[in-house]
Amino acid sequence: MEIELVSRETIKPSSPTPPHLRIYPFSFIDNILVCVVPLIFFYNPNDNNDQNSKISQLKKSLSLVLSKYYCFAGRFKDNITIECNDQGVPLLVTKIKNKLSEILQNPTENLLNPLFPDELQWTDTDKTAALISIQINCFECGGIAISICISHKCGDAATLFNFMNDWSSINKKLEEKEEGLLILPFSLLDGGTTIFSQKNLPIVPETVHMREKSVVCKRIVFQPSMIKFLKEMATSSSIHSPTRVQVVIAWIYKHVVSAMGLNLKTVPFSIAVDLRKRMIPPLSEKSVGNLIWFLTTFPDKEEMEVKDLVCKIKEGLSEFCNVCPKLFGGRDEDSLSSIHEFLKKITEPKTKKGTVINFTSWCNFPIYEADFGWGKPTWVTTYRCSWKNLIILMDTSDRNGVVANVNLEENVMAKFEHEVELLQLASLNPTNVGQSSGL
């Protein structure tokens, strides 16, 4: 693939951040997170293939949306705060002498890597650098791919998708020449910084992630017919309506542990849970920050069927929702002490905790809503992560299937991908993504 860097510049907010918003404190959940999360959105060519005008407009709309997400344009002041000094975010523009379809037909790691800014994907946050970086990739056919790398300290997946959707909405209004676009800064404190304030909590060390060179990533697509089969497999007298995410997590977990040559009783699994709708009262879906917590489940048997694992997930989630929102909602000394113990527990090095299979689901988020005025993306994906045993779930473009980005050590992956049942239930590293495959 021939790729040329056309420009690199810094985009600053269209309006200066007011003095009273200059210091943005992290929540105690923000504090423990360290990685840079990558996403890339692919757009097919449309009737308006003037890429230069599109880039000019993207810069203007990015400047406008940064006045809303003003902390993203700041820099670290120290380990627990951002100085919202409007320094801006790096924006790279490239030209690629290939057609977009060539990438979508076979999206290998080698082809995807240069589409991200400065190879920041899943690296540790550099506290001397910008909090987000963006790259606009222009293909010869007129197609565009927009990638973003964001420090996890700024927010979770919901925050990232909200940012992309707000940016695209402003850009679309510019394209349609709508009036009333001025976006003034406003407080982003309706989120993690107020709900999960650091207050007097001791600062807990950032989460330790063991990166391994031997980790490989495979993309597994569960189409609706296969999910229906898994739901039927998981339905029992105690489980009447398992969700597609629950059945996919249960199935993958069971088979990953088998590929490791271990048993379920010795390998717990962890699921990141969005707290927005589970807090009392519920928070806005637009709340900024890391509003997630981790449900860890310990199976009590060496071998379990998918339906039993789904039951375990549902029981754990029910208990989680009864305890965590109440705990996090408290601000007395006992609550703060309990929160701190939770934090210390989950940030212990993996070598002390043993093997854990980690799941994070981005399903049901508005992944495919970012329409910049050229239509919705044909494909949205992330990138290989070098943390072993991390599985990221995403929607297919029709919102009915599930894509699992599975990151495992090479020897474990070799066994996992040859599971007979996997080959019957899902497509492994499918080609023609964004086309007829449902992606």
Residues 294 and 249: their CA atoms lie apart, in Å, by 15
Distance CA 405, CA 163 (A): 22
Q: Among residues 6, 178, 10, which one has the least CA distance to residue 93? A: 6
- For 291, the enclosing helix (H) or strand (E) is none
**Structure tokens that stand for 142 in this block:** 């007129």
3-state secondary structure of 131: coil
Look up 152 and say whether it is catalytic: yes
What is 24-46 written as a DSSP string?
EEPBHHHHH--BEEEEEEEE---
In the block, tokens 């990151």 appear at: 407
- Four-residue CA torsion sign, 27, 29, 33, 38: negative
Whether 418 sits among the annotated catalytic residues: the reply is no
Residue 259's Cβ-count burial label (10 Å; 0-12, 13-18, 19+) is: buried
Task: Tell me the two tokens of residue 5.
Answer: 């860097």
Q: Where are the alpha helices (DSSP H) in 5-81?
A: 28-32, 51-68
Left if phi > 0, otherwise alpha if psi is -120 to 50, otherwise beta: which for 147? beta
Do the Cβ atoms of 368 and 44 come closer than 8 Å?
no
The b/e string for 360-386 (b: 16+ C-beta within 10 A; e otherwise) is: bbbbebebbebbbbbebbbbbbbbbbb
- Measured distance CA(274)–CA(282) in Å, rounded: 11
The reply to whether omega before 281 is within 30° of 0 (cis) is: yes
* Residue pair 435/393 in contact by the 8 Å Cβ criterion: no
Distance CA(309)–CA(387), nearest Å, equals 24
Instruction: Please pick, among 152, 156, 255, 274, the residue that the annotation labels catalytic.
Output: 152
Q: How far apart are CA 389 and CA 386, in angstroms?
A: 9
| Integer angstrom CA distances of residue 56 from 104, 136, 407 | 26, 11, 37
Tokens of 280: 């009392």
- Amino acid (one-letter) located at 107: P
Residue tagged active-site, from 118, 124, 190, 371: 371
CA dist 163 and 194 (Å) reads: 19
Active site residues: 152, 371
